[in-house]
Chain A
Amino acid sequence: MTEYEHYEAVVVGAGPGGAAAAAALAKQGIETLVLERGADAGAKNVSGGLIYAEEWAPYTIDDLFPGFREAAAERPVEEYYIHNIAGENVKTFDLDRIHHRGTEWCDAVLRRRMDSWLAERVHEMTRETGGGLLTDVRVNGLLREGGTIVGVTCDELDPIEADVVIAADGVNSELARDAGLMDWDDPDDWFQGVKAVVDMEPEVIDERFDVRPETGSAHLFSGDLFDGVRGGGFLYTNEDSLSIGTVFHLDSLADERAEPHELLDSLLTHPLLDQWLQGEYEEREYAAKLVPDSKRVAHPSPHRGRLLLVGDAAGQMQAQGPIIKGMNHAVTAGGLAAEAVAEAQTRGNVRAAGALYEQKLEDEGVMKRLRPRRYRATRFVSESRPVNRLGRTLVNSRLGAAGLKLFDGLLERSFNSPFVLGMIPDTKMTYVTIPERVGEVLGDPVDGESRVEPPELDDRIGDLTYDVDDPHIEVLDDSFEASGTAVTACPVSAEGFGGGCYREETVQTNGEAERKVSLDTQPCVECGTCAVVADTHWEHPSGGKGVQFEQG
């Protein structure tokens, strides 16, 4: 029997969290091995994505990776709007103040490009420590010795021992689950993000969005265009493409039995978007992924023994109203985890790293952003809070449109208040009712008309690249009651559509018709939804297998 390999630190996952942790560890001279399951870093990842560098943050991506913005990011966001939609009526607010508040800079990114660039730097840095970065390796569990975590086990490699394991393996972290730190039970804890990357020439972007070359804008959408499902839409400008997508509360999506791809299409075909798309629509890629809601699941103590959780794996994904911040927090947490490991090592007690990390998350103000106290309060006493008062005024007002216009300025200010945004309760009132009422009363009709025809679901699937392996998801209970929600909630399945992952079937048993679901994982985009809304045994595919995003 050959001995297991040993590294001082093993980092699982090469997203922003893992990349930051590994870079910071390497800077401290700690021997670091990074394991990434994608055939290329970024091949598995999806974000909106605006990456923020916030002034308060002890680590930002360009601190750790000089040259990041020039080499790996798309356009910097200089303008930021939210559109409140009621039918064809739209009221637009400028979110400039909240966007720039405390923000050093903010760039749009495409994850394949970003993560693969980061991974190259990380490999160079970690290689000098005696470690390095490997792709095509899926970590499938924690290596334990007498109940203590001592390393990781992988599909492709023999077990590896480590003084510390940093799990930066993203949402649906198999390591966090294995350690008993996270479960995947409650749809309330998650959002589902769906996104299309759309071709557009750089000059056309400059002109249609009225931005200077190489700068960009961001647009958010809320109101009545999503059939009452709680959530919203976004549109960000890249160098030569647009990222257009939606983010919904998973519980709402599940309850309404909404079809994610149709909700995306509702946004794409809204006449408001015609000013930018002008009837031209060439979709490069369709993608989806779950997003944790830090307000509910950011783990207050994200470590166990030698294991430290970073980023989405620890639920560190902040939805500030419509503004989504996950990548920046993953970077900060990665930096802090590395710092904790280095300090613990210096003190000669690596096992103290977890507690030190927890302390740093608290001291540096990460936790208070991820789980604001006042949010915890508003969940119960929301009635008396300004947002809802505002909502009620709007909804019940008998002042008529002319009177309500007086609220215009006030509303725009409210939307720009981090205080208000931070405590927005996740109710239909804030996501749908207020924006709808704002659009209806204060908005003007848009004069565009949509001439866009988004691709059908089977074309979207057909355009994706897959390296198909054995099924990585198993349905444990195939009754419709237990797993039927996946038929609609899975972003590549739909009722009455035979080419997706989940299908409803009627089976005759003893003369009785029973509703069942069947699963074909071939078109799976590994979003994680059915791990939560259906009764499944859910794992990621082996290294390099499954879907490969080119954009992300």
Chain B
Amino acid sequence: MHMVTLTKGVPDFREGKVSFDEDGHLERGKTPTVMNPNDKVALQAALQTKVKHGGHVSLLSMGPPGYKEVLQEGMADVYADDLCLLSDREMGAADTWATAMTIATGIEMLDEEPDIIFAGFKTADGETGHTGPQTNWCIDINDELTDRPLITHVISLDIDEDTNTVRAKRLVEGDVSEIETIETDLPAFIVTDPEFEANYRRAEHRLRYKDLREQTQERAAALDLDEDVTVWDHEALNLDPDFIGLDGSPTIVSGVDPIPKGPSEREARVVTPDDEDGMEAVFEELNAFAAGD
């Protein structure tokens, strides 16, 4: 079984890490880049497949050289057998279309055709949710022989090696209240939902998981970013610069509107403890609650 998981670096939006300027614009330079959290969920799905069925997990991204560390993070925090980065200046400022085109080409360059491609549900910065499905589409046009089914919003996953099929539970319309089960042939393209949970009901699988987690952490710690990450530029991929990066991106961003702060729904009035009338009013208000009304 060969699994490829797609990932992207995003600004670390966690409290204390992210930095905004006075106008509320993200300061990319001051905000560290981390692996898109939803992609870790996708990588967990790949790891689950490896634990249960064996095989090989490649983690692939397109982005600046700094993304090597993002790949390393995925290897350390979840799992990867090898890391691959599609990177050069020509690929910069790509929209989802150009990105998908590039990634699809990268996937085809891999030694082995993947049985499953995993992607996470939308990135924390772009929030489009397009790249995964578009990549699948690009692979399909590039290689008309493989008609790879696409399953999105996957929350659990089972593979039957004998019939070479995958059975997935997915949220219909991304809605938690409606779940459907889909069964389809491999190879397939799977987009995990943030609700995805790996599921190990056999001790042997949990033990194998423990082994693999240990190995991947050791490998990530010893990783030489110059040696151990495969990097392909547009030449290696044999891609025309006109069709990738900014030049290959049909999307035009007309402008970015900052999201206005929502008005607070609660009203507040400040009362100091010395203000007798004020305090009186506070007790009045609270009385209703104290009485359980």
Contacts and interface: CB of A to CB of B under 8 A. Distances in A.
Interface of A: 5, 7, 33, 35, 123, 127, 131-132, 134, 137, 156-158, 160
A134 B201 contact: no
Contacts of B207: 127, 131-132, 134
A158 B205 CA distance: 11
B48 to A, nearest CB: 15
Interface string B188-224: 0000000000000111101100110000000000000
A209 to B, nearest CB: 40
Interface of B: 201-204, 206-207, 210-211
Nearest to B202: A5
Nearest to A10: B203
Given A5-B203, A127-B211, A134-B203, 16 more contacts: A5-B202, A5-B204, A123-B210, A127-B207, A131-B207, A132-B203, A132-B207, A132-B210, A134-B206, A134-B207, A134-B210, A137-B206, A157-B201, A157-B203, A158-B201, A158-B202
A251 B81 CA distance: 59
A25 to B, nearest CB: 16
A5 B211 CA distance: 18
Contacts of A33: 203
Nearest to B207: A132
A137 B211 CA distance: 17
B185 to A, nearest CB: 22
A137 B210 CA distance: 14
Nearest to A34: B203
B52 to A, nearest CB: 11
8 contacts: A127-B207, A132-B203, A134-B203, A134-B206, A137-B206, A156-B201, A157-B201, A158-B201
Contacts of B202: 5, 157-158
A116 to B, nearest CB: 14
Contacts of A134: 203, 206-207, 210
A495 B203 CA distance: 44
A127 B204 CA distance: 11
Contacts of A5: 202-204
Contacts of B210: 123, 132, 134
Contacts of A132: 203, 207, 210
A228 to B, nearest CB: 42
Contacts of A157: 201-203, 206
Nearest to A132: B207
> Counting chain A CB atoms within 10 Å of each CB, which of B202, B203, B207 scores highest?
B203
A127 B214 CA distance: 13
A132 B202 CA distance: 13
- 6 closest A-B pairs by CB: A132-B207, A158-B201, A134-B206, A157-B201, A33-B203, A5-B202
A21 to B, nearest CB: 17
A449 B202 CA distance: 58
Contacts of A156: 201
A296 to B, nearest CB: 36
A158 B206 CA distance: 12
A160 B204 CA distance: 10
A123 B204 CA distance: 13
A543 to B, nearest CB: 11
A160 B206 CA distance: 13
B218 to A, nearest CB: 14
Nearest to B206: A134
Contacts of A35: 203
Contacts of B203: 5, 7, 33, 35, 132, 134, 137, 157, 160
B256 to A, nearest CB: 41
A9 to B, nearest CB: 13
Nearest to A160: B203
A369 to B, nearest CB: 35
B208 to A, nearest CB: 9
A33 B211 CA distance: 15
A319 B201 CA distance: 40
B213 to A, nearest CB: 12
Nearest to B208: A132
Contacts of B201: 156-158
A35 B207 CA distance: 11
Contacts of A160: 203
A33 B203 CA distance: 8
Contacts of B206: 134, 137, 157
A63 to B, nearest CB: 26
A132 B207 CA distance: 7
A500 to B, nearest CB: 24
A35 B206 CA distance: 11
B206 to A, nearest CB: 5
A551 to B, nearest CB: 25
Nearest to B211: A127
B94 to A, nearest CB: 42
Contacts of A158: 201-202
Name which of A7, A137, A157 has the most chain B CB atoms within 10 A of its CB.
A157
A419 B211 CA distance: 51
A157 B207 CA distance: 12
Tell me which of A134, A137, A158 has the highest count of chain B C-beta atoms within 10 A of its own C-beta.
A134
Contacts of B211: 127
B255 to A, nearest CB: 46
B134 to A, nearest CB: 38
B41 to A, nearest CB: 19
A61 to B, nearest CB: 24
B200 to A, nearest CB: 8
A127 B209 CA distance: 13
Contacts of A131: 207
B289 to A, nearest CB: 18
A423 B207 CA distance: 47
Contacts of A127: 207, 211
Nearest to A4: B202
A181 to B, nearest CB: 25
Nearest to A156: B201
Contacts of A123: 210
Nearest to A123: B210
A36 to B, nearest CB: 12
